[in-house]
Amino acid sequence: MKKVLFILAILMLISSAVTAQYIPFTNTTRIFDLDTGSVIRVFKVPLPQTGYKNFYVQRGGSYIPPYTYDLRYGNILRYIYSANGFTDSAHYRRFHSSWSFDFTYGYSLGYVLDLAFSAQDTNLFLYGYRGANWEPAEVTAVTRNNGLTVTNAYNGGFMSLSGGVAIDPVNDSIMYMTFNSGSVGGNVHKSTNRGANWFTIDTVSQSPGSNSRFFVNKFNRSTIFLSFYSYLYRSTTGGSDFQQIKTGLSDVRMLFDATDNTIYMSSNSAAGLLKSADNGTSWTTLLNKAVGDFEFDPLNSNTIYAGCTDGLYKSINKGSTWMLYNNSFMPDVNVKGIVKNPNMGDTLFVSTNKAVYKVYGPSVVDTNLTAYFPMTIGNVYVYETPSIYPPFITRQKLRITKDTVVAGKRFYYFNQALPGLWNYGNWYRIDGATGVVTGFASNYSCNYLVNERYVDSLGSRKSDSLKKCGTNQRSLCIDTTSHSIFGIPSKQKAFREDGLVLNERTYSKNFGITNVYTWEITGSNTYLVGCKINGVTYGDTLLTGVENVSAEVPSSYSLRQNYPNPFNPSTTIRYNLPRAGVVKLAVYDVMGREVEMLVNERQAAGSYEAVWDGTRFASGVYFYRLTADGYGETRKMLMIR
């Protein structure tokens, strides 16, 4: 009996590790929106109070060849807790670092490479600074009066290369920086008097460059890590004699945990989130996916938050298991910064590539986003559009006929243009984590999505908007209420896209696009009147007439057996055309009399299907015959009323 209970306990633990899911936050408040810009980096600065942090967002804009960046590039904004907002005037504007001198010549000066604050004195900070974008001319500066005046560590001049900086977390007299110049030897430098004097402590085999970062082990301060490019170096002698210990990393962050003498490291590469219990000699993977930032809960060291390209993750057992915690950051869920202070309750500050959010107050939200646009081969959607002009009602039948995988993403092919999406092509996919619907567009690039074009974001809440790439258009979520479709209760999300033509699209959960309103000169509505979803039929899916179900060219003519057979009262007839020509498909009774002509027109090569509705005819045997370019074939079918 004890053995059985033990096995059951193990199974329960395994099940919990695999299936447990945190409830994502409902309350996700956007407090800063970069619009067309992006977040380059988030800097977190410890304050003298234990566990508290200031944080800064470095924002970037677009590059205008050959030299000019727009005015957002490199600007660093500090979040002011008391004002509940950001300011660019902190520290006497030392970090307001994108100043365009002259648009004629394209001068754009000032780009902060790295910064470090004293944990004991908020007036003392150190920063690496690029002086010009069109030539390597970088400096490292120190200030002891909160930026009112600054002193350059080295006057390097042309071709000087600065980068990572650090201040010892216990003794702020000790500082480190990377700097390379023809007038200064070595690459790693140190100060023991608050930056008044510097001396070289290591050459390092490669020049670290502007993306270098220092990490001083607070609990073993003679151990210092230096990351740059894809390399990780370590010194166990207070900054001298750095040795390479790991490769394959990018944009490294480190935290040091005194409770178990463990080092935690994130990398914005496949290396993911790692830990080391032997001072960095060996590493164990905790989260096997790119991690832009991570943060310990200051009141509970067992809780770790990790920011990934698909949202915010959380572990309550120091990284043994992980669950997706929040992916409601729209329009971009690539988390680049996380801040958690002990006085913040359940609130986190989260920066994505596009905006900064407060997230707080967990409650149940809808996470099954793909259900709003179900896509499976064989799904059928029938739409009806009323009109004041003849024929007064037009009907359209769409079918998903195939799928394909491009760069690990599965797209589905609609044989006709979807209503309201005429400019997005025939191939679509929906991202399961974010709910973003994209159309495949060759040679198109949208927010890191190659050959994809944003349509709508089904993870949106009301008033959220998704900015389209290369245009000022947005998809605005205008409704998230529930309604009934085919007599079945369903949640819906409606979006407005206002351009040359106004489009409003409504997605209903488990049914897809159920209504489209368009306005150009006059308005019109298109309704879903029937569909076949994952083999289940809803509403009216009968569409009399002929439909091209595949543009692939068959090798020969063929006329398929109708289905269903026997039937009541309608049936579908499929045929293949290897080349274009005049096609006739007619239905005959047992006396050989033509009772209905289904097709009599010129058609392109492809596979077709026609629906015959026998409502007006009696039960019995009928024949259907296909003729095209000398080919002829007849088959028999049976209608039972």
Residue 553 has pLDDT above 90, yes or no: no
Together in a domain, 377 and 311: no
Query: Who's near 33: CB < 8 A, 6+ residues apart?
Result: 354, 355
Q: Which residues contact 24 (CB under 8 A, 6 or more apart)?
A: 324, 325, 326, 327, 328, 362, 365, 367
Report, as an integer, the average pLDDT of 232-260. 91
443 and 509, same domain (yes or no): yes
Same domain, 455 and 561: no
Give the single-character DSSP code of 377: T
Owning domain of residue 619 = 545-639
Give the contacts of 446 (CB within 8 A, at least 6 positions apart): 438, 452, 453, 454, 468, 469, 470
Closest CA to 634 of 559, 571, 546: 559
The residue whose two tokens read 């979040």 is: 79
Residues 300 and 421 in one domain: no
Give the SS3 label for residue 191. Answer: strand
Please report, for the domain that includes residue 299, its CATH number: 2.130.10.10
Q: Which of these three, 521, 538, 555, is where a domain ends? A: 538
The enclosing domain of 550 has a CATH number of 2.60.40.1930
Tell me, yes or no, whether 16 lies in a domain: no
Same-domain status, 51 and 168: yes
Given a contact cutoff of 8 angstroms between Cβ atoms, the answer to whether 41 and 48 are in contact is no
Q: Quick check: is 17 in a domain?
A: no
Whole-angstrom distance, CA of residue 458 vs CA of residue 477: 9
Phi, psi of 540 (to 5 degrees): -105, 110
Which amino acid would we find at residue 456?
Answer: D
pLDDT of 589 above 90: yes
pLDDT-based confidence at 413, cuts 50/70/90? Answer: very high
Distance of alpha carbon 26 from alpha carbon 283, whole angstroms: 36
Same domain, 45 and 194: yes
pLDDT value, residue 254? 95
Q: What radius of gyration, in Å, describes the C-alpha atoms of the chain?
A: 32
* 567 & 514 share domain: no
Task: Return the C-alpha torsion angle 8, 288, 114, 41, nearest 10.
Answer: -90
Compare 258 and 447 and report the one with higher pLDDT.
258
Query: Do 607 and 588 form a contact (C-beta atoms < 8 A)?
Result: no
Q: Could you tell me the two tokens for 213? A: 């970062």
Looking at the structure, do residues 193 and 207 belong to the same domain, yes or no? yes
Domain assignment of residue 587, yes or no: yes
Which of 333, 365, 397 delimits the end of a domain? 365
What's the pLDDT tens digit per position in 446-501? 655 678 888 988 877 777 777 776 666 778 889 988 889 999 999 999 999 877 77
DSSP code per residue over 547-562:
EEEE-SPPSS-EEPPP
On whether both 423 and 479 belong to a single domain, the answer is yes
pLDDT grade for 174, boundaries at 50, 70 and 90 = very high
Between the CA atoms of 219, 115, 72 and 452, what dihedral angle is there, to the nearest 10 degrees?
Answer: -40
CB distance 130 to 137 below 8 Å: yes
- Of 103-112, 344-353, 469-478, which gets the smallest average pLDDT? 103-112
What's the total number of domains in the chain? 3
Helix (H) or strand (E) holding 138: strand 138-143
Burial of residue 602, with CB atoms counted within 10 A of its CB: 0-12 exposed, 13-18 middle, 19 or more buried: exposed
Q: Are residues 134 and 156 in the same domain?
A: yes
Residue 1 located in a structural domain: no
Both structure tokens of 259: 């409770």
Residue 510: what pLDDT? 94
Residues 341 and 452 in one domain: no
Residues 475 and 448 in one domain: yes
pLDDT score of 243 more than 90: yes
